[in-house]
């Protein structure tokens, strides 16, 4: 079964979804809503639910449940909480806007601070990605003696360049 083969009707027969809380509840074989707590597992901050033997990210299922179709673009959790699947907290965005809304450095980051990397000279470089005139660009914000200063410069630039993102 391809990801888009799952229909809203199949999902609705397997789960009940409360759009105001973002919580899915498993239905039993008779279609009754169970009371067994939050279903699924959380991996990398995202809740995943099993439907017909396949796992799906709960925020994508919430979209399918409410709108009756799969999202055509990435879904962004507006408040940054990947397990807050209230429909009001989800929006379809471009990949660029979704990346602009990042709040934490990737796990592979050697420094552990968003927008900061260590240079070969031992300083800490601050860079930010944004879009200008319809193109994605990476802006160099300078090199600093401490990662905290570089991160502060990055956060200032993020507030200015990524309107609509909360930090």
Q: How would you write 77-130 as a 3-class SS string?
A: ECCCCCCCCCHHHEEECCHHHHHHCCCCCCCCCCCCCCCEEECCCCCEEEEEEE
CA distance 28 to 15: 9
Judgement on whether residues 99 and 112 belong to the same structural domain of the protein: yes
Question: Is the confidence at residue 99, as pLDDT, over 90?
Answer: no
Judgement on whether residues 35 and 59 belong to the same structural domain of the protein: yes
pLDDT in tens, 49-73: 999 899 999 999 999 999 999 999 9
Q: Is residue 137 part of a domain?
A: yes
Name residue, tokens 């919580």.
23
Please give the model's pTM, rounded to 2 decimal places.
0.65
Judgement on whether residues 99 and 88 belong to the same structural domain of the protein: no
Q: Is residue 35 part of a domain?
A: yes
Given 71, 92, 113, which residue is the final one in a domain? 92
Domain around 124: 95-161
CA distance 167 to 162: 10
pLDDT in tens, 124-157: 999 888 877 777 788 899 999 999 999 899 888 8
């Amino acid at each position: 079964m391809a990801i888009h083969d799952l229909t809203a009707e199949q999902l609705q027969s397997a789960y009940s979804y409360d759009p105001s809380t973002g919580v899915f509840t498993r239905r039993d074989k008779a279609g009754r809503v169970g009371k067994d707590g939050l279903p699924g597992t959380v991996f990398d901050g995202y809740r995943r639910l099993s439907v017909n033997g396949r796992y799906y990210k709960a925020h994508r299922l919430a979209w399918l449940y409410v709108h009756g179709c799969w999202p055509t673009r990435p879904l962004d959790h507006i408040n940054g909480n990947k397990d807050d699947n209230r429909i009001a907290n989800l929006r379809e965005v471009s990949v660029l806007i979704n990346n602009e809304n990042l709040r934490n450095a990737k796990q592979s980051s050697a420094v552990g601070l968003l927008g900061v990397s260590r240079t070969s000279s031992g300083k800490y470089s601050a860079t930010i990605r944004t879009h200008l005139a319809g193109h994605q660009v990476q802006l160099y914000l300078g090199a600093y003696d401490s990662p905290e200063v570089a991160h502060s410069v990055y956060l200032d630039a993020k507030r200015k360049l990524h309107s609509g993102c909360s930090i």
